[in-house]
């Protein structure tokens, strides 16, 4: 399977590294904005074709699928362009930064019938898979998820510390990870939600601190704290408080409530969530099936984000 990568930034390079580990798949083209790093990254990974125009890549017959790791504001329009060009597409999270664009991608997928998957990587991290398996086996039920998403981003930089050409968002990006995971893990409908935000950054124009609370039809609770102001341990920390135990997940690591490590190395073929996400995308295309975290499965998350945003505008 031949893939193209759009976006040669921090996450694009994570996908390139992941695809190299998957037999029968290769990235044959990279596209980024004019003046971007696509040429140097292509040379680093031995890729012969690069461009600054996505349309050029979509016109290549040999390209079967596209991974979009571009700025959030471009995700929806680029995903639709890929689908309409007959290409399968993996869109990095978030699918969009507004509901109308997200719904338009769902419509395009249904119209074209191509695989369209969104990079909700928490569904794939072995730590969260371990918890999910325990829930599915009837051995654990979530009473509350207490989640902290903490970064130090008072300047507009990406995960590699490089200047960004776009602005990240606590609600439409980082909260999307947890809200989708909460609904996925509980398997229940979210029936109540509330949001508060702190002051807007004078230059970036976004809230740097946010608090979200949710409840499912079965009574499970979510408490989510998000900050771009945190000068301390960085990342997202998930505490699952359940009826038979407590578990704390941080990306691909898992400990119990007393801090004892839980071995999740045999949960899947890799400990790398990005690799597992990419493997699922390629397998779904090969097998002609809907992928886990398909656009149809995750659209409810974006409807919840929209409803929360509306609360802020009241």
pLDDT in tens, 107-127: 999 999 999 999 999 999 999
Band (pLDDT 50/70/90 cuts) for residue 251 is: confident
> CA-to-CA distance for 132 and 114, rounded, in angstroms?
28
Q: What is the pLDDT of residue 10?
A: 85
> CA-to-CA distance for 65 and 136, rounded, in angstroms?
32
* pLDDT at 157 > cutoff 80: no
In a domain, 303, yes or no: no
Q: What is the pLDDT of residue 68?
A: 98
* pLDDT at 156 > cutoff 70: no
Range of the domain at 37: 2-120+274-293
Same domain (yes/no): 178, 223: yes
In a domain, 301, yes or no: no
Cis omega (within 30 of 0) for bond into 26: no
Band (pLDDT 50/70/90 cuts) for residue 286 is: very high
Band (pLDDT 50/70/90 cuts) for residue 303 is: very high
Average pLDDT on 87-94 reads 97
In a domain, 314, yes or no: no
> CA-to-CA distance for 248 and 241, rounded, in angstroms?
9
Q: What is the pLDDT of residue 159?
A: 60
* pLDDT at 62 > cutoff 70: yes
Q: Which two tokens stand for residue 85?
A: 């060009």
Q: What is the pLDDT of residue 161?
A: 67
Same domain (yes/no): 143, 171: yes
Q: What is the pLDDT of residue 314?
A: 78
Same domain (yes/no): 89, 36: yes
Q: What is the pLDDT of residue 272?
A: 94
Q: Which two tokens stand for residue 261?
A: 């490590």
Q: Tokens 């699928």 — which residue?
A: 65
Mean residue pLDDT of the chain comes to 94
Listed range (34-38, 78-82, 127-131, 136-140) with the worst mean pLDDT: 34-38
3-state helix vs strand vs coil in the chain, percent to 5: 35, 25, 35
Q: What is the pLDDT of residue 281?
A: 98
Of 267, 282, 304, which marks where a domain is finished?
267
Q: Tokens 């996400």 — which residue?
A: 277
Band (pLDDT 50/70/90 cuts) for residue 37 is: confident
pTM of the model: 0.94
In a domain, 310, yes or no: no
In a domain, 313, yes or no: no
Q: Which two tokens stand for residue 46?
A: 């031995």
Residue with the bigger pLDDT between 205 and 124: it is: 124
Same domain (yes/no): 115, 157: no
Same domain (yes/no): 146, 164: yes
Same domain (yes/no): 175, 49: no
Q: What is the pLDDT of residue 133?
A: 98
Q: What is the pLDDT of residue 234?
A: 87
Contacts of 69 (CB under 8 A, 6+ apart): 5, 6, 7, 8, 9, 11, 12, 15, 92
* pLDDT at 135 > cutoff 80: yes
In a domain, 73, yes or no: yes
Average pLDDT on 54-73 reads 96
Using a pLDDT cut of 70, give the percent of the chain over it. 96
Same domain (yes/no): 57, 7: yes
In a domain, 298, yes or no: no
Q: Tokens 């921090």 — which residue?
A: 10
What is the tally of structural domains in the chain?
Answer: 2
Residue with the bigger pLDDT between 163 and 91: it is: 91
In a domain, 133, yes or no: yes
Q: The CATH number of the domain where 212 resides is what?
A: 3.30.360.10
Q: The CATH number of the domain where 68 resides is what?
A: 3.40.50.720
Same domain (yes/no): 54, 155: no
């Amino acid at each position: 399977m031949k893939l193209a990568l759009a976006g040669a930034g921090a996450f694009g390079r994570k996908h390139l590294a992941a695809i190299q580990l998957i037999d029968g798949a290769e990235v044959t083209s990279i596209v980024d904005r004019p003046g971007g790093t696509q040429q140097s990254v292509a040379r680093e990974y031995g890729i012969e074709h690069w461009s600054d125009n996505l349309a050029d890549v979509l016109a290549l017959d040999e390209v079967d699928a596209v991974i979009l790791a571009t700025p959030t504001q471009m995700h929806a329009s680029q995903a639709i362009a890929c689908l309409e060009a007959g290409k399968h597409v993996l869109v990095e999270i978030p699918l969009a930064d507004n509901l109308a664009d997200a719904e338009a991608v769902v419509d395009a997928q249904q119209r074209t019938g191509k695989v369209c998957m969104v990079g909700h990587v928490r569904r794939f991290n072995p730590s969260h898979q371990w918890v999910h398996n325990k829930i599915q086996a009837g051995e654990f039920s979530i009473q509350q998820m207490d989640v902290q998403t903490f970064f130090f981003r008072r300047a507009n930089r990406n995960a590699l510390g490089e200047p960004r050409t776009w602005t990240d968002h606590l609600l439409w990006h980082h909260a999307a990870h947890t809200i989708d995971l909460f609904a996925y893990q509980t398997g229940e409908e979210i029936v109540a939600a509330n949001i508060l935000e702190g002051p807007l950054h004078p230059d970036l124009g976004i809230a740097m601190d946010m608090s979200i609370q949710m409840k499912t039809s079965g009574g499970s609770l979510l408490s989510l704290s998000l900050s771009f102001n945190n000068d301390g341990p960085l990342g997202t920390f998930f505490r699952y408080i359940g009826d038979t135990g407590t578990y704390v997940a941080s990306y691909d690591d898992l400990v119990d409530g007393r801090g004892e490590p839980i071995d999740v190395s045999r949960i899947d073929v890799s400990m790398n969530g990005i690799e597992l996400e990419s493997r699922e995308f390629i397998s779904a295309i090969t097998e002609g099936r809907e992928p886990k975290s398909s656009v149809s499965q995750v659209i409810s998350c974006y409807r919840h984000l929209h409803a929360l945003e509306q609360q802020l505008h009241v």
